[in-house]
Amino acid sequence: MTFGILGSGSWGTALAKILTDNGQTIYWWNRSQQCIDQIIDRRHNPHYLSNAYFNTEQLKLFTDSGEIIRQADCIIIAIPSAFAGATLLGMDRNIFAGKKVVSAIKGILPEHNLLLNDFLKNEFDFPLEDYFAVLGPCHAEEIASEKLSYLTFSGIDTEVNQQISGYFKTGYVNTIENDDIYGVQFAAVLKNIYAVGAGMSHGLDYGDNFLSVLIANSADEMAGFLKKAGIKNIEVGHVEALPSIHDHRTNNYAASVYLGDLLVTCYSLYSRNRTFGNMIGKGYSVKFAQLEMSMVAEGYNASKCMYLVNQTIKAEMPIAETVYRILWENLSPAEGFKKIEETLI
């Protein structure tokens, strides 16, 4: 299987490292020819994960995103959700025909308020059977440092999903598979919102005791949304008996891709959403915080998207809704968290 990667930020660079470390030659899109020339010359991405070095003979670099899609069998889309729609719109409607698509987007496309699979269905008539998602918990910086990480691949074609997953298993990456394509994507969107909230609490000078309660309640709120949206794998503590100690337990909400990803995104200093929220809690404006950060905090747009999605689902989401009102309706962080305090159990 030949892989193409759309996206050359930190996450796209980390995925490129994993594949090339496994001996794969990849097609890799970067909008800047200057950056491509620097990667070839220096053997690393000068702007992201500069400690991750590449054998440039394994890299086929193009500024034409369409060429990446045409050349590869499996397209990994690792573009920030805010820019993914603009990158893909205008391409030939049949360009993805016969391809597999792996979403490495941890957000909803804000201008369309859709997950990537629904966007591809609408714009390219792309079948869900050929769509897969790769989720954490996994920070790009730890991939670059080759610290043991876990990736979950989700897709309804379990055989192909397992095949794709196998290309990413290395000495520093363990891979897990499931078929909960909507559940894992919504969980990834929501955990970014809660990580912004965790950062806000830190910026407001709340302590670790409060943070633990906030995250525990966020986990419960996330599970409530997923359950009401018809997502499976919500029950905690219930697993089927294992035929062998070498087999994975069945997925439930305590699994790494749900609760684990929420925890690391809320606690880790690598978390851009936590960093963004911390700045908001300290009194920075949204615009200034965005300008100060060199990477996109997905939780900002996600908070509005999920607020709109929940107008249909109607789950009880006081934490996520308050984060939305702070970011989009000028509610002060201090006032918002006083309201959150009253809802925590």
d(CA 201, CA 217): 14
Which residues of the chain, if any, have pLDDT below 50?
none
147 & 202 share domain = no
Give the torsion through C-alpha atoms of 106, 111, 116, 119, to 10 deg: 170
Side chain identity, residue 138: C
d(CA 345, CA 214): 9
Contact partners, residue 343, CB within 8 Å, separation at least 6:
217, 318, 319
Side chain identity, residue 84: A
67 & 39 share domain = yes
157 & 13 share domain = yes
Exposed / middle / buried, residue 60 (Cβ in 10 Å: 0-12, 13-18, 19+): middle
pLDDT value of position 248: 59
CATH number of 146's domain:
3.40.50.720
pLDDT digits (tens, 9 = 90+) for 150-188: 999 999 999 999 999 999 999 999 999 999 999 999 999
| Boundaries of domain holding 28 | 3-179
User: Longest Cα pair distance anywhere in the chain, in angstroms?
Assistant: 58
153 & 254 share domain = no
82 & 214 share domain = no
Contact partners, residue 245, CB within 8 Å, separation at least 6:
none
pLDDT digits (tens, 9 = 90+) for 269-320: 899 999 999 999 999 999 999 888 876 789 999 999 999 999 999 999 999 9
Q: If we measure between CA atoms, which residue out of 41, 91, 337 comes closest to residue 217?
A: 337
Instruction: Identify the three-state secondary structure at position 72.
Output: coil
236 & 282 share domain = yes
15 & 114 share domain = yes
41 & 163 share domain = yes
d(CA 81, CA 235): 29
The domain total for the chain is 2
Instruction: State the Cα angle at 67 between 63 and 68, rounded to 5°.
Output: 85
Among all chains, which residue has been given the structure tokens 């960093």? Answer: 275
d(CA 326, CA 345): 22
Side chain identity, residue 254: A
Could you give phi then psi for residue 248, rounded to 5 degrees? -75, 145
Of the three residues 129, 160, 179, the one that is the final residue of a domain is 179
81 & 168 share domain = yes
Cβ proximity of 96 and 126 under 8 Å: yes
Of the three residues 179, 212, 241, the one that is the final residue of a domain is 179
Of the three residues 142, 160, 179, the one that is the final residue of a domain is 179
175 & 215 share domain = no
Among all chains, which residue has been given the structure tokens 């196998």? Answer: 166
264 & 239 share domain = yes
pLDDT value of position 73: 97
165 & 188 share domain = no
**DSSP-based helix, strand, coil % in the chain, nearest 5:** 50, 10, 35
CATH number of 198's domain:
1.10.1040.10
